[in-house]
Each structure stands twice: as structure tokens, then as C-alpha cells.
Structure 1
């Protein structure tokens, strides 16, 4: 390779890997497998070694990875959070072992740990109390996510009496168990939200939410695995792990002390199969030299410790045949293509189907009828087709063409600009949408109607008893007809009627969520109800008024306006009103301390010494002001504290929005506003 070619290749690889790092750490939406990323990183490192004059100062080979988000306070790590060197090769593990022996001799042990597929976290404790939780970030500084981490039940907020240092830092991995991931991801799909690819991404996306109450609703877990103290407390890593376990920290029970590299290989081999029996995902094994003195002697490279390495398992793959593509219609009308496969055993289970997500994925794979395809199931819970084997394609195989009409009702599908999914717009006449909406309405998180289940809804729809949500509240008029079906006894009918009647007391936000409006999940429903107070105000709101509400963007606003433009939907609301359902907020009206800030809008950004952001928000609202979610020309004031994101500051200055301190805000309450 010529110097010019090397320079161009180094630049291209660096830019590509930086983007993949951003996708992985910040967006929690990786677009490349770990194996492919590591191979590209190795290629870049080799080129930089051969042509060091072209190595970029901020090369991915010198970076831990990750970026600092703008929503959280940035905290510098007392001890850098370095990344581990990794390998997929047993020979490279042997080489690592030889390097260690050459440096410290043969008298040492390894600690073997499962490599959890989650989000690295650093926890700081003082006097036994958790005072700070910080993400890895760029390895030097990370995001302060203490409020979110305190919602994780397995992380102690305060330790019991014990023999631990007054000040210490402990690090670990935040993750999500597979069952929790499946349940929550299915809810996202039902609410027409983008599903996460795997539990690691869901955990990462959750920990960076701005609303810790929402974080608390998503069950996260955390294993702790490394202790940092100002003065040495233990002589070995193993001793420290046993100690922190006795202090009350959640330590993985599968960690093992190994006397030599042969025992390490036995550990790796045993977990290559057993990992699929765990309730959480691992993607490899971590080796650490046990003695702290020997760790210090081995030292560090620019980005990794020389006394530790990660062995990563390759994702399980299998080759099988695409037999057909079918299409599923969700309750919101979203149409999802599904690959029906010749059954193949993969990662301990028989795989018959794999989601194809949308039309773009079919095009990306260049799928043809009868193709031989490679299916992968590594960190992914749902098997996915990763590529096609073109060598086995039949010459006359026709390409898979995405359908143009709904497979259930025949309506022509639509695809909105900027969206990946196709939709059936016939929400009032498409059977799976009608049934799905009613099943969603009666669900535990919506109206929670006892005595009614998904199968009952399906049966009552097929028998002609139910067509709309409002029909549920007329079932009491047809009790005799229900008895004649032979499926329902008097007791089950009575339970059903009691459950339906009781549901009329469910609060407005539950009713709104239960109506199944596209993009209106639980959190959005709560925010809309808190802002508009009743259904009439909400139905009259235009897009500009809707986007004034915190966290309500244009997409949600357009969906709401479109929904209320349908006479059938308005008619349903009127029927539900007549049946006695709650369409008015039951929250007590805020008693204003004054109206000094009436008609004024604010955004609060940064960190303040005297008040928390929530306290400033309350002050503004108690004096008639409103809080907006984003900076626009509609904003009157930006209340700025320390560490405010530069993007917000730049946008506010560009729009000539007054930037005030918390002291200036309080001054506004004691003087007449003239700005």
C-alpha cells in the first residue's frame, strides 16, 4: 500500500469507527457487530503502526469510546474508566499469558468473570452512602446519572454498618434481564415505538432518560466487579470482590479464581454453552491478574490495563432456507414482515421465524425467494437474518417484493415521509387493528378491566358483540345473549360486568393511553392530561399548542391532530363520556402564589447552587409561568446555570432569547416585568 493510499484508508477507517462509537455509546443503537468493529479497529491499528505519520491525534485506537450527552452534568473520573483489550482468539489469550509471565514470573493467579453485555457504571460512596453514579463517557469524564441509578433496586443507597472505607468507588455493569426486555420491547412495539435491538441497548437508553420516574418503571440490574480506594485495603482482586459482596453489593456468583491459563480455558469453554441458560446476556469472559501488586507492576497502555483482557464469544450463526415472507398487522396499523425459515437449531433453541423489520431491511438484504440465509442469535433475543448466501441462489429466484395492500383488509398501505414502516390506514375496518385496540384498552396498564381477557375480546369481536371500544360498556345490555353463547357462565359474566363498571373510575390519563392513539404512550398521556386538563381542550389543540407541552414533538402532535380529525374517533369519545368514563384531570388545580410570570415561557438548563431544577420549575409554575421542552422563537427566557449545554446556549443567542440566572428569575417575582 502506498503512503497516499494508507493516509486515505486511515482517515476513512477513523471516521467510520468514530461514527460507530457514537451509535453504540450515545445513541445506544449500534449499526455494526462487535466482531466487525474490532476487526476494523485492528486494521486501523496495524496501518497506524506501519504509517505512524498519518495517525490522527484522536484516533479510535487511542479512545475508550463514547461521548458526553448534553442533558446531564459532566463529572471527571477520579480514576480513568479504561476499556479492555479484547480478542476472539485462544492463541491470543496464550500470547497474553506469556506476556504476563515474562513480566512478573509464573507465580500468579487469574480471576475470571463473565463479561456482561451492559452499560459501565462508576458508583461513589461516602460514609456508606451512594453520592454519585457516573457513566463511562469518554473514559476521562462521564454523565452524572445518580437519580436514575438510585432507582435500581440491587444498588445499595446506604450500606449497613461494616468494615468499609469512608470513601471508595466501585464499578460495575448496568444491564437488563431478557424477560424484562421482551416484555418492555413488546410494549414499545404495541405503542408503535421503535423497539430496541437487545437488552444492552435498552439498558443504555433507559439510564440516559431525563425522567427518573420513567427509569424506575424499567427494571434494571447491576453487577459490581471492581473496587477503587485512595489507600490499599486488600492485596488481591478476589479478596476485594468477596468483601464488597459482604458489604451488600450485587456480585455475580459465577466469578472464579483460576490458578493458570488452562483453568481459564476450561472456564471459557464451559460458559460458551451455559451462557444461553443465564437470564441476562454475556458476550465473553474477562481475565484479570489477581494480585494488586502484580497489576501495578504490569501497568497500563494508553487505553487499557496490561493485567486484564476480554475474550469475546462469536455470535452464534446458522444457515437455513427462507421458505416465505408473511406480514403481521399491529393494533396501530404498522405492518411488519416476518421471514418464515426452515427450522434450524441456534443457540440452544429451534428457530423458525425472524423479523425483517421493514421494507428497507428486505432491500438491504436483497432477499429473493428460496434464498439460503445466515441467521444470527448472539446478544440479540430475536433471531435476525444477517446476510444471504448468493452462491446458493437459484437463477430464476424472484426478489421479495414488499406488499402494497394490507394482508388483512386489502387497504392500500401508506408510508409517511421519514418513517421506515408501512401502515394500514383503515383503523376502523381492519380486524387485527380493531381487536388489538380493544385488547390494549382493557390491559393492565390502561383500563385494567378484570373479567375481560384477550381471548374473550377476540371471541366477542368474532360473534359480533364488539366493534368499538365503546361497545364494551354496552355489554351489560346483552347479558342474556352472552349466556346463550355457551362459553360464559353466570359467574364469569358477573365478574366481567363488575370489572367494566369499575373501570369507569380509572383516571383520564389511563383512558387516553387506552385509546391507542399512535405515539401516545403512558408518559405522553400523563403529560398531555397534566397540561390540557380535559379532553375538550386536548381535542381543540393545534400542532403549535401541542408542541408547547414538555416532550411533545411534532410527530406526536401531528398524530393527535390527525386522530381527532376523524368523526368516528370524536364520536367514540362522546359515547365513552356518556358511559361515565373520566375525561377530566383529577389533579388539584395549582394554587398560584402570584401571576407575575403569567404568559411567560421558560427553559431551565444547567446546574444551580441554591435550587434544584425541579424547585425552579415549581417556582415558575406557581407564579403562572410555563416550562417548554425545547428552544424556539416562542421561548421568553432561558434560565441558565453552570455546565449548560453549548448547543442550547448557541441557539438561544441566535434567536436573541434573554438568558437569565436563577437570581434574576427570583428578582422578576419582586418587580414588575418590563421585558
Structure 2
């Protein structure tokens, strides 16, 4: 027994070892993980820290000294010609810099790095002899894997015979088999329809599909593969670098990624990491990081490996997007357009940098498709690092206490019977748009949002107070038209229940256990709070907002900022939009028949037009300045990126639109100009690649004052 180690440290090491061994077995053998990658990484870092403090704890059986997990007996076992290893991880720029420093201490300055995406799939090893595929195997414990050759042969992207010349006598190809995200969703839907448990995530779907005993099942699933390395390479063209090896393997017909790149220096590595950090959902497959490798093979050989991973490569791990948590309940919320949306109430958990307790489930069909039940342990992720989304259940952890969700038949806030707006709609809605407290509250909060009037002093609590005061008083805002006719004396009287944003549920006062009630606009002495003065100041500013923001604030279905800007740019006044025929509206770029029909339908409702007239009477702008004047930027598309010195993003957008131009969010060959400031990001890079003219602050001023021809003369081109 090791001596000099505190009992507490030894006990914790044993607990961590058991947890990690169990996690490895479930991940590599059963293909049914019950903890997330983030939790696994957290446990591994804890045991590494313990072993760093007490090296005597390191034994051959420690999870830190092993790769993968022992293989099962479901498939024949095969031994890899060269060991398959895992990768060390970096979670910060300091850790990445430390890895580079360690490598350069051994071999001197590193000239280049190869960066590639870390695909969240199943690692496999393919062996080719004289160009013919003779074996496909899982990674297993790194030395011995399972023979899945028959299943590998069903994957269309994997050639059974290499093509070209100078093919190696023996070649081991390492890569990742994955299930595209779209295919994963369709697969899960078919499993639920068949009464089977869905896969928790695409990685599980790929692993479960690849390890079917019947290859015919695997063949029906659209698996794919991307090559990310090699083992034994005997004979044929001998590569000089990792990137050279990739290009040679590509020439053999192997599926090599088109997203890898070779860069010079750590700064360019960071740019690559930042780009895919911002665009994690751009590839068709799930990624959880970036792999950085020393490109030169001679340096790789000099750096060598530890018992677990090569010293010449490291995996940068993005903040976890996926975690596991308990689904405590499924409830419904009513949105500003009456749409009734189920959402999950979960044990609060931190994901992608913030604590999440709620996640959308979209509609009843989505709940059924995902196969989730109340009480499930579920996989939660942030789609685009922003919106919490339930991916699916961890079905292996069910104990029978879980229950199905039933969609309500009546609105939870006004008790109106719910129905689809038209036949075939998957969403159901509360048709009581005029009087449903939930819809009015959500619409008023939306009116104040940055995409509409941008009223800073009107947040969710204030919107609730204005639309749902405690009885017997009526709310001061009975519809959006009342917003610009508020009275200070009326505001001082309001007492309101505080509600949770996103769900609309009343907040509970922890001291009393009852619903939390506030007098939002007045002090205890009955005097107006300072926020009231701010609110009235902001309302006056809001009256001067451009026409497109007024249109967005009306909450017309399908009319967001893009369509509203297009309508304002074309018609220039509210009256002209109201008078326009459906055909005239449809003809506007970025509008089309669906939006045009929604606009006509909205203005045909009497109380909708009353809102417009109340706003008009209060002094809200109903036409853009210069509606009869020249429009020198007519037909010109502008993209704005980075921080400008002369304008905020909103004021720059308004300036372009006031002159008839269109502001777009994406760069394409049709873009007229890209206006850039500090930290412009990937849009600047794309503009350079496509040869789109670039304007700095001074160039943007020329565009606004003198028009596109003059701006073209001062624009920065990619050649410069």
C-alpha cells in the first residue's frame, strides 16, 4: 500500500477511478454514455490533479494511463498494427501556449501547425493491404479493437479499393465515423415511431449504428467518415508532413476533410479556433473542439508520446454545449402571437457559460419526436451557444417513474380553447389575441425590444406591471396603442405579480412562499420612482424611431426586421403600406406571398388599426424622413461588421436605409460594400476572399455623403 498519502486523497482517487472506468465502459463498449463529455473532462482533470499532488497513486490501472476501454465479446477482436491514442486537452489559451512551449523546448521553434475540427463521432481504424480494405476496427483500448469490417463496408464514403498510383503495401487509416445532425434527427424520429428508445446525441447514433450485429441495419443509416490520421504506412509515397499525408490519402479516394488548414504560429491557431467557435454549427456534423498538430512528421517523431497521448498534438475543447440534467416537468408558455410552446423545466445546470433551468421543446410533435418524458435524465445543449435545447433522453437511466406529456386543450392564462390557426399547422394557438393577458404582456415586452422601439426602461417586469396589475384595477395598457398615452398618477397605483421571463410563471417570494408582488413604478411613500422619468424620456425618443421599427413593433406574424426594412424602404410610409395591394407587397424583395398575406390580414382587423391610430395620435413617426427625396443607395446592399467610431450599428443601418440602401447580415458576391470597424471578424475575411469593396469609417462617410461611385474610388480592395 502506498504510504504518505492522506486517506481522503486515496479514497477520492478510488471514487474517481471507478466513475471514469464506468464512464469509459459505457462510452466505448455499450455506446450508451450516461454522463456528458463535459462531466467526463471534469472528472479526468480532478484525478490528474490528485496524481500530480501524489504521484504514488499512478498505477497501470489508473484511468489516466489507459486509452478507451476493454473490448466486448460481441465482435471478434483484432490488434492494431500501431497503437491508437487519445489526445491531451486544452481549455484555455494559457494551456495551449504551455503545450507549444513544452514542444519548442524539446525541438526548437515550430514552423507550422495543422488545425482541424474535432468531430464528435466514433474513432475507427481501417487497414488496407495492397490498396484493398481488409479490416475495419473500433479503437477499443488503443491496442486491441473490435472487428467491424462488414459494417464499415456499408459506408459509401469509405473505399474498399484505393485508387491512384504508388499505393502503400500496408496502410492504417484513422478517422471518425459520424452521423450528420440532420440524419440523426430523422433516425431518432423513426426509432420513436417504432416504439424504441431514441439516441441521446449524434455520437451515440453513429456508434450504435456502426456496431449493429446485422450489417444490413448499418447500411440503412447514412453514416459518413472523415480521416484524421494514420498508423502504419509501409511502402508507396512516404509523406513528409501531416498535411502532405492528408493530400496523398485524398488522392487515394479516402474522405479527407476540406476544413483543415496549415497555419504559421500560435496567433493563427487562435484565429482558427475563434472562427469555428463562432460557427460551430456550420459543419454537417457535431464538433466539440479543434485538434492542433505539429505538421512536420520529423518533429512529431522527435516529440514522441506519453502512455496516453502524443506530445505533438492537443485538442482545444470549446466550453461544453452538452450536459445532462433532470427534466422535472414539461409546461407550456403563450407567446406574443398566441403560439403555445411546450418547454422543459430542469434541474438548473451550467452550460456554455450560463445557468439554464428552462429549454424550449417547440411543439407537441417535437416532444413526441424526441421521445422525452417528464422525469427523464436528458441531454441539454445550447444551439448556437444561445438557445437552450433538449436533444433527447438518456433512456438507459429510466426507472419506470417517468410519465408522458399531454398538451393542454385550453390557454393556461385566459382559458380559451386552443386550436391550430389553419389546417395542417403543427403549432396550436390561443385565438384570444386581443384579451389574452399572456399575449398582451409578451407583445408589449417585444415592442420595447431592441429589434423594435428599443425602449430601455421597459423590461419584462415593467411590461407585466403595465398589462396585469392586481385586481380590482384595470391595466393601464389594454393594448399596445395605450403605451404612448400613459399617465403618471395611474402608474403610481399599480401593484403587479412578478413573472419569470420566458415562461410567464409567477415568481415565488422565498420569505413568504407566496407570489411575489411589487409596486413597480412608485416608492413606499407613493412617489414616482426615478425609473418613471426614464420611461417617459425613452417613450419620447421611441416616437422618433424609423418606420421599420414601428412595423416590427406591431407584431405582425412573419414580419421581422428584414421584412420590415424592405417594406419601409419600398413604401416609405405606413399609409402606403396599408393601401398597397397584396400583389404590390409580394413584389417587394425579402417579402413574398406569405408575408404579404400576413400584412394584409393584420390591417383588416379593426382593433389592429386602432393601435396604429393611437400611436399616430401620440406622435409616433408614420413615415420616414425624405420619403419624397432622392435615394442614392437604391439597389445597393451593405454589410456592417465590427465597431465603428462614427456610428452605432443601429444608426449606421438607419443611415443606409434612409438613402434607399439595403443592410444585409451576410456577405456574398452581390454585396455592394462591407463597412468595417474594430474586430470585424469573419465577414471581413469573406469580403476579402470575394473581392467585395471594403469601407472604413472615412469610406462609409463618403458613401453616405457622395454615393456609391465615390465610395468605390476610396474603397479598400483585396489586392491592397
TM-score, structure 1 as length reference: 0.51
1:130 is aligned, of 124, 130, 133, to 133
Q: Secondary structure at the match of 1:156?
A: coil
Distance 1:221 1:380, change over 3 A: farther
The corresponding residue for 1:271 is 276
1:198 touches 1:380 (CA, 8 Å); kept in 2? Answer: no
Q: Secondary structure at the match of 2:238?
A: coil
Q: Secondary structure at the match of 1:276?
A: coil
2:138 touches 2:148 (CA, 8 Å); kept in 1? Answer: yes
5 Å-filtered alignment, 1:24-103, equals 24-103=27-106
5 Å-filtered alignment, 1:368-517, equals 376-377=382-383, 383-384=389-390, 419=400, 421-422=402-403
Post-superposition CA distance 1:46-74 (Å, at most 9, x none)? 21232233334311101112231211110
Task: Give, in whole Å, the separation in 2 of the partners of 1:274 and 1:378.
Answer: 8
Post-superposition CA distance 1:282-325 (Å, at most 9, x none)? 1100011111111111011111100000001113489xxx9983
The corresponding residue for 2:229 is 226
1:180 is aligned, of 164, 167, 183, to 183
Task: Give, in whole Å, the separation in 2 of the partners of 1:147 and 1:126.
Answer: 16
1:64 touches 1:138 (CA, 8 Å); kept in 2? Answer: yes
Post-superposition CA distance 1:252-302 (Å, at most 9, x none)? 101000111111000000111222122111110001111111111101111
Task: Give, in whole Å, the separation in 1 of the partners of 2:290 and 2:425.
Answer: 48
Distance 1:317 1:171, change over 3 A: closer
The corresponding residue for 2:108 is 105
Post-superposition CA distance 1:81-117 (Å, at most 9, x none)? 0101112111100101111111111142111111011
CA deviation after TM superposition for structure 1 residue 136, in Å: 0.2
Q: Which has the larger radius of gyration?
A: 2
1:168 is aligned, of 147, 171, 192, to 171
Deviation >3 Å, runs of 4+: 374-382, 417-425, 454-457
Q: Secondary structure at the match of 1:192?
A: coil
1:282 touches 1:379 (CA, 8 Å); kept in 2? Answer: no
5 Å-filtered alignment, 1:582-601, equals none
Distance 1:58 1:381, change over 3 A: farther
The corresponding residue for 2:295 is 290
Post-superposition CA distance 1:537-575 (Å, at most 9, x none)? xxxxxxxxxxxxxxxxxxxxxxxxxxxxxxxxxxxxxxx
2:374 touches 2:405 (CA, 8 Å); kept in 1? Answer: no
Distance 1:166 1:323, change over 3 A: closer
1:198 touches 1:381 (CA, 8 Å); kept in 2? Answer: no
1:315 touches 1:378 (CA, 8 Å); kept in 2? Answer: no
The corresponding residue for 1:358 is 373
Distance 1:203 1:243, change over 3 A: same
CA deviation after TM superposition for structure 1 residue 160, in Å: 2.4
Distance 1:175 1:382, change over 3 A: farther
Distance 1:171 1:424, change over 3 A: closer
Q: Secondary structure at the match of 2:141?
A: coil
Q: Does 1:244 align with 2:267?
A: no
Q: Secondary structure at the match of 2:78?
A: strand
Task: Give, in whole Å, the separation in 2 of the partners of 1:82 and 1:314.
Answer: 23
Question: Structure 1 regions of 5+ residues with no counterpart?
Answer: 328-335, 366-373, 387-416, 431-453, 458-675
Task: Give, in whole Å, the separation in 1 of the partners of 2:164 and 2:391.
Answer: 52
1:217 is aligned, of 216, 220, 244, to 220
Q: Secondary structure at the match of 1:359?
A: coil
Post-superposition CA distance 1:182-217 (Å, at most 9, x none)? 101011111121111111110001111100000000
2:289 touches 2:316 (CA, 8 Å); kept in 1? Answer: yes
Task: Give, in whole Å, the separation in 1 of the partners of 2:50 and 2:68.
Answer: 20
Q: Secondary structure at the match of 1:97?
A: helix
Task: Give, in whole Å, the separation in 2 of the partners of 1:85 and 1:295.
Answer: 15
Post-superposition CA distance 1:563-607 (Å, at most 9, x none)? xxxxxxxxxxxxxxxxxxxxxxxxxxxxxxxxxxxxxxxxxxxxx
Post-superposition CA distance 1:150-195 (Å, at most 9, x none)? 0000000112242211221111000010111010101111112111
**RMSD between superposed Cα atoms in Å:** 3.8
5 Å-filtered alignment, 1:148-167, equals 148-167=151-170
Question: Structure 2 regions of 5+ residues with no counterpart?
Answer: 333-340, 393-397, 410-422, 427-720
CA deviation after TM superposition for structure 1 residue 41, in Å: 1.0
Task: Give, in whole Å, the separation in 2 of the partners of 1:108 and 1:60.
Answer: 34
5 Å-filtered alignment, 1:557-568, equals none
Distance 1:70 1:378, change over 3 A: farther
Q: Secondary structure at the match of 2:240?
A: coil
Task: Give, in whole Å, the separation in 2 of the partners of 1:233 and 1:375.
Answer: 42
The corresponding residue for 1:299 is 304
Q: Secondary structure at the match of 2:156?
A: coil
CA deviation after TM superposition for structure 1 residue 418, in Å: 5.4
Q: Between Structure 1 and Structure 2, how many residues are aligned?
A: 377
The corresponding residue for 1:258 is 263
Q: Secondary structure at the match of 1:39?
A: helix
Q: Does 1:311 align with 2:316?
A: yes
1:340 touches 1:353 (CA, 8 Å); kept in 2? Answer: no
